[in-house]
Amino acid sequence: MSEVKVPAAAVSGRSGSRLLSRLVQQRATLFWAAVVLLVVLAALLSPLLSPHDPLKGNIREGLLGPSADHWLGTDKLGRDVLSRLLYGARVALLAGLEAVGIAALIGIPLGLLVGYLGGWPDRIAMRIVEGVMSVPFLVLAIALISVLGPGLTKSMAVVGVVYAMTLLRLTRGQALAAREELYVDGVRVAGAGDRRILFRHILPNITPPLIVQVTLMIAGAIIAEATLSFLGLGVQAGQASWGSMLSDAQASIRESFFLALPPGLAILLTVLAFNQVGDGLRDLFAREAKGGSLGVNPVHHESGSGQPPPPGLVAADPLLRVRDLTVSFPQPGAGRVTVVQGVSLDVAKGEILGLVGESGSGKSVTAMSLLGLVPDPGRVAASAVELDGRELTGLSFEELRKVRGGAIGVVFQEPIASLNPAYTVGDQVAEVLREHEGLSRAQARARVVELFEQVHIPEPDKRIRDYPHQFSGGMAQRVMIAMALACRPRLLVADEPTTALDVTVQGQVLDLLLELRAETGMSILLITHDLGVVADVADRVAVMYAGQIVEGGPTEDVFRRPAHPYTEGLLASLPRNVRRAGRLPSIPGVVPPPSAWPVGCHFADRCPYARPQCLETPVELSARGDDRATRCVRAGELTLAGVGDVPAAGEPLPPAAGRPVVKADPPLISTRIEKRP
């Protein structure tokens, strides 16, 4: 899902047809696009469609009401209103195209150039743009036209130049951002010159926002034309334009109120249609850009198989008990795909359970679904999710929110991104306390300092006044942990808590987790892709692959004697700090996407031990010994290699404990320096 970072591929090729199919779902945009199309047709075909000459009329037939001959009646000079309206569409569109065309021709190339070059050309261009844009648009246009003289072409050229400033600024901003993108470095290193980078790579990537802006600008230009024509600065007197029609109507408003309606409605509808299409396009491109929003998704209750999961995944004294958890997302063209299939597991009181798997295996979705935090179109169901005996399925989102942050604390991967940059960290933690525990301001503050001490943030009473960006990654993660601990949770859900941190800092955060567990007796559900982290802190491990738990049991046993071929492959392919012995073992192929999961064993196409029977029927989890579970039809016959079996020839063990702890004192220098004789 997070794969969908593809705003710009919007423009051509197969992604274009995908965009089209998405457009079809945007009914409103389609409707307004049809309106635009009608206006365009009216403009193009006005000579054919018009029943009368728009410029000639019989003054004796002035101000007639609608009739069979004159559907919309006639104006004061007896000219047919419908014909004038149709010709007016032509004027409006031509004016819009002229202004926007000029704006695009000036604004886009200049914007690209100054955005890409930066430096002084950029600064000069931006000063000019700011100067021009600081004057109200119409005032500027009227001032210029009064110099140049009236006339539609001239006045729209002026409008175009003013609009060019807006486009220039937009293009420049987009180009500036695109210039920093890694793919630009990529093509530059490939040998592409500036012109190629600019027109072949950056321009196609920034086209979508430009299209949106240009569409909205046409609407603006149509209004500008009408306004200027109304004021007599646009079309020549007598010519049919919606603006001049309005002005005529105004002149005879006492005699006929009706005359103002057709041009007024035409302007309103056309402008509205262009604006709606522009907004629709923006939505369309934006939807390409993000996968979906974080939404609210309570866990639905659904009766499961009733089968208890095998040992290895169950605990005698569970704090968290999950049964038959299933999560699905709608996928275009494929109905719903199930990304987590029937996950059952327990977390015992005071236990750290490691949930490992590669990206796309469903480990994060599993954890987030327990908290009601699955992104929006997702659907979560389970036969049971019990926290300390309390059933969480069927709870409303509001009730779940109380549980989360109360009995369950959460820590995410990106500590700094998870904190609000606009508030001090102290205030953010205090807010949690005041909301969930109802503490007063002073009480909350005292407790925050206490929490910061608990997670070893130095000088807590000073640091609570700092903002997130003033913290390093490791310290920010401590703040997140402090926040998660605020309401003394029974269960801490930590999703890749150390992945964004440096290894030396990672060690400190893991030590902190171990220490907090010992202090508070809480349980931890630790989600990670790093087997080293699991080996470090987890008592038990559950391995996920392609939406299913494939193996579970005590960490040490599982890693020494894996019972599933995937666990074996994962352990073997992990680069370790050992002397090189040929190529790294690896698992061939890639994790298949959810829509391609087979009925049988999900791992079959990558498994070196696969047999035809593996693909026949769904593979169930089965017990192995009295504390292990595995999902492999050949589990009984296979003997798999674990970490102890890694050839470690010639490698020294890590330094033994008991090495004298060295204090930061100078005398040591004598023992460490070996002067050459």
Is residue 505 within 8 A of residue 474, CB to CB? The reply is yes
Residue burial 488-504, b: 16+ Cβ < 10 Å; e: rest: ebbbbbbbbbbebbeee
Residues in contact with ligand SF4, shown as a per-residue x/- string from 548 to 577 under the rule CB under 6 A: -----------------x------------
Give yes or no for residue 604 binding ligand SF4 (CB under 6 A).
Answer: yes
Strand segments, DSSP code E, in 32-108 are: none
Number of H helices, E strands in the chain: 24, 14
Among 104, 352, 444, 614, binds ligand SF4 (CB under 6 A): 614
CB of 440 to another protein, least distance (A): 33
Give yes or no for residue 501 binding ligand SF4 (CB under 6 A).
Answer: no
The listed partner (ligand SF4, another protein, none) that binds 436, CB under 5 to 8 Å by sort, is: none
In the complex with ligand SF4, the residue whose CB is nearer, 104 or 549, is: 549
Rounded CA-CA distance 260/250 in Å is: 7
The listed partner (ligand SF4, another protein, none) that binds 8, CB under 5 to 8 Å by sort, is: another protein
Rounded CA-CA distance 304/441 in Å is: 46
CB of 587 to ligand SF4, least distance (A): 11
Rounded CA-CA distance 428/410 in Å is: 14
Coil, helix or strand at residue 525: strand
Rounded CA-CA distance 551/570 in Å is: 12
CB of 597 to ligand SF4, least distance (A): 12
Structure tokens at 425: 């960290």
Structure tokens at 146: 């009064």
The listed partner (ligand SF4, another protein, none) that binds 619, CB under 5 to 8 Å by sort, is: ligand SF4
CB of 557 to ligand SF4, least distance (A): 18
Give yes or no for residue 619 binding ligand SF4 (CB under 6 A).
Answer: yes
Give yes or no for residue 640 binding ligand SF4 (CB under 6 A).
Answer: no
Residues in contact with another protein, shown as a per-residue x/- string from 187 to 226 under the rule CB under 8 A: xxxxxxx--x----x--xx---------------------
Among 445, 569, 629, 630, binds another protein (CB under 8 A): 569
The listed partner (another protein, ligand SF4, none) that binds 673, CB under 5 to 8 Å by sort, is: another protein
Give yes or no for residue 546 binding ligand SF4 (CB under 6 A).
Answer: no
Rounded CA-CA distance 372/300 in Å is: 10
Structure tokens at 557: 């046993």
Torsion 572-575-579-585 (CA) sign: positive
Among 221, 607, 629, 640, binds ligand SF4 (CB under 6 A): 607
DSSP 8-state class, residue 619 = P
- 32 Cβ contact list (under 8 Å, min separation 6): 272, 273, 276, 277, 280
CB of 395 to ligand SF4, least distance (A): 36
**Residue with tokens 């929490």, as numbered in its chain:** 451
**Alpha carbons within 13 A on the beta-carbon side of 305:** 14
543: β partners: 356, 551
Residues in contact with another protein, shown as a per-residue x/- string from 426 to 465 under the rule CB under 8 A: --------------------------------x-------
Give yes or no for residue 595 binding another protein (CB under 8 A).
Answer: no
Give yes or no for residue 492 binding ligand SF4 (CB under 6 A).
Answer: no
How many residues of this chain bind ligand SF4 (CB under 6 A)? 13
Helix axis angle, 137-148 to 203-230, nearest 10° = 70
Interaction residues for another protein, span 229-288 (CB under 8 A): none
Residues in contact with another protein, shown as a per-residue x/- string from 545 to 564 under the rule CB under 8 A: ----------xx--xx----
Residues in contact with another protein, shown as a per-residue x/- string from 645 to 664 under the rule CB under 8 A: -x---xxxxxxxx-x-xxxx
Is residue 261 within 8 A of residue 71, CB to CB? The reply is no
Among 633, 640, 642, 643, binds ligand SF4 (CB under 6 A): 633
Among 17, 134, 293, 577, binds another protein (CB under 8 A): 577
Interaction residues for another protein, span 336-365 (CB under 8 A): 358-359
Interaction residues for ligand SF4, span 29-58 (CB under 6 A): none
Rg (CA), the chain: 34
Rounded CA-CA distance 72/86 in Å is: 11
Is residue 72 within 8 A of residue 66, CB to CB? The reply is yes
Give yes or no for residue 666 binding another protein (CB under 8 A).
Answer: yes
Length of the chain: 677
The listed partner (another protein, ligand SF4, none) that binds 586, CB under 5 to 8 Å by sort, is: another protein
The listed partner (ligand SF4, another protein, none) that binds 632, CB under 5 to 8 Å by sort, is: ligand SF4
The listed partner (another protein, ligand SF4, none) that binds 610, CB under 5 to 8 Å by sort, is: ligand SF4
Give yes or no for residue 580 binding another protein (CB under 8 A).
Answer: yes
Rounded CA-CA distance 419/416 in Å is: 5
**Residue with tokens 């198989």, as numbered in its chain:** 305
Rounded CA-CA distance 326/379 in Å is: 8
Rounded CA-CA distance 532/54 in Å is: 82
Site residues for ligand SF4 per CB under 6 A:
565, 601, 603-604, 607, 609-611, 614, 619, 632-634
